[in-house]
Amino acid sequence: MGKVGIIGVGQSAFVRGYPGSIRELAYEGFKGAMEDAKISNKDIDASIICSAPEYDKQRSPAGVIAEYLGLTPQPTFYLESLCSSSSMGVRTAYSLVKSGLHDVVCVLGFQKMSEITSAESQERMGRGADIQWESPFGTMMPAYYAMYARAHMEEYGTTEEDLALIRIKAATYGQMNEKAVYRKPVTMEQIFDPERPPVATPLKVFDCCANADGSSCIIVANEEKANALCDKPVWILGLGAASDTVNTAGRDLFTGLSVAIEAGKQAYEMAGVRPEDIDVAEVHDCFTIAEMMAYENLGFAEPGEGKELIKAKETYKEGKTPVNVDGGLLSKGHPIGATGGSQIRTIVLQLRDEAGPMQVKDPEIGLVHNIGGVGLYGNVTILGRS
């Protein structure tokens, strides 16, 4: 059926407290993507609405949002795989287009997390784990990733200072990103301020991303439509997806995420590329240790050597493998359902040379690594100019 491309991308600003409804929030990302693609609602054959449930009161939000966006009577449906929902949405859209069932599909990710308190949000996240065997014992996201950080430190000698370098990089680029929640520099002194208690040792406040409200939108089209409607389509070259045991007690790897390794292998094979071919990447840095593990899981560094990449600034914009040069989740914030779409938007803009002050020099191939839960779901998407 030919190639499948991305012809439009959009994103709302990520904020800590959006004043409107979820449908209004969704519209902001949608409007940007439609203006970018220069198409109208009648050009869209189907929509996929992506978020994690229970952060707002609306059941079946796909119907509400599709109606508000004027995407009826076209089919719409709801997709969730926790934090990787909109990456999984793009994978699904690719399948719908590749099969010939639809020509143009809109993938809309959103989350309005400010409708509940931080404590309630942490409880919802905890229930992303097994509600029978794990979450009743108080496991929460920072604690899970602190366990991975401790294992990485014990196995490879990684230090808290190594992780702090990742946060400093995130803040360097977050300052440049007008869509990010946090746009201030961060220093080593701030990170290790003794007045700031640890969140979950060894992770401190600056090692953790923050919840946010936001939306993102990706317009996917078949080759004929992409070439007809878009001057600079970006092509989906490779897709990988994997899942792991819900209970961490069922896993045998704690210095990395098996889903990232497996999804990466699939995406590299499908795209016919290797880690060294990636010119720019977005990885799921919900915590600093998550970015460190992503370096290694994706083959940018050997296991245990991710710390050498950040020490040498090889993951900065001018480095060998630029990673998260939009500030990542650590600076942008993490509106769960919108995160994957935001990452994909960043790589699309990079490949179109439209990333402004965050632009990497002449990238041809970009990668997006998006994780759902604590390594429960993994998606890797490889995009290219040609």
Looking at this protein, which amino acid is placed at residue 60? S
pLDDT at 109: 98
pLDDT at 138: 75
Q: Which residue is catalytic, options 83, 106, 209, 230?
A: 83
83 tagged catalytic: yes
Looking at this protein, which amino acid is placed at residue 61? P
The span from the first CA to the last CA of the chain, in angstroms, equals 17
Distance of alpha carbon 90 from alpha carbon 161, whole angstroms: 36
pLDDT at 132: 83
Sign (positive or negative) of CA dihedral 156, 160, 164, 165? negative
For 197-231, b/e burial (b = at least 16 CB within 10 A) is eebbebbbebbbbbbbbbbbbbbbbbeebbeebbe
pLDDT at 178: 97
Distance of alpha carbon 59 from alpha carbon 69, whole angstroms: 17
Domain 129-209+237-384: give its CATH architecture. Answer: 3-Layer(aba) Sandwich (3.40)
pLDDT tens string, the chain, 386 residues long: the values are 699 999 999 999 999 999 999 999 999 999 999 999 999 999 999 999 999 988 887 889 999 999 999 999 999 999 999 999 999 999 999 999 999 999 999 999 999 999 888 788 777 777 777 888 887 887 789 999 999 999 999 999 999 999 999 999 999 999 999 999 999 999 999 999 999 999 999 999 999 999 999 999 999 999 999 999 999 999 999 999 999 999 888 999 999 999 999 999 999 999 999 999 999 999 999 999 999 999 999 999 999 999 999 999 999 999 999 999 999 999 999 999 999 999 999 999 999 999 999 999 999 999 999 999 999 999 999 999 98
334 tagged catalytic: yes
- Give me the residues paired with residue 239 across strands: 381
pLDDT at 128: 74
Q: Which residue is listed with tokens 């065997």? A: 133
pLDDT at 118: 79
Name the DSSP class of 14: P
Q: Which residue is catalytic, options 102, 284, 334, 369?
A: 334
pLDDT at 351: 98
Domain ranges of the chain: 4-117+212-234, 129-209+237-384
pLDDT at 140: 85
Between 141-156 and 288-297, two packed helices, what is the crossing angle to 10 degrees? 50
pTM over cut 0.75: yes
Q: What are phi and psi of 168, to 5 degrees?
A: -65, -40
pLDDT at 347: 98
CATH of 4-117+212-234, one of 3.40.50.300, 3.40.50.720, 3.40.50.2300, 3.40.47.10: 3.40.47.10
Q: Which residue is listed with tokens 């796909």? A: 62
Question: Could you report the per-residue pLDDT of 266-285, keeping only the tens digit for each?
Answer: 999 999 999 999 999 999 99
Nearest to 165 by CA among 338, 258, 295, 29: 295
Q: What is the pairing mode between strands 104-112 and 280-282?
A: unpaired
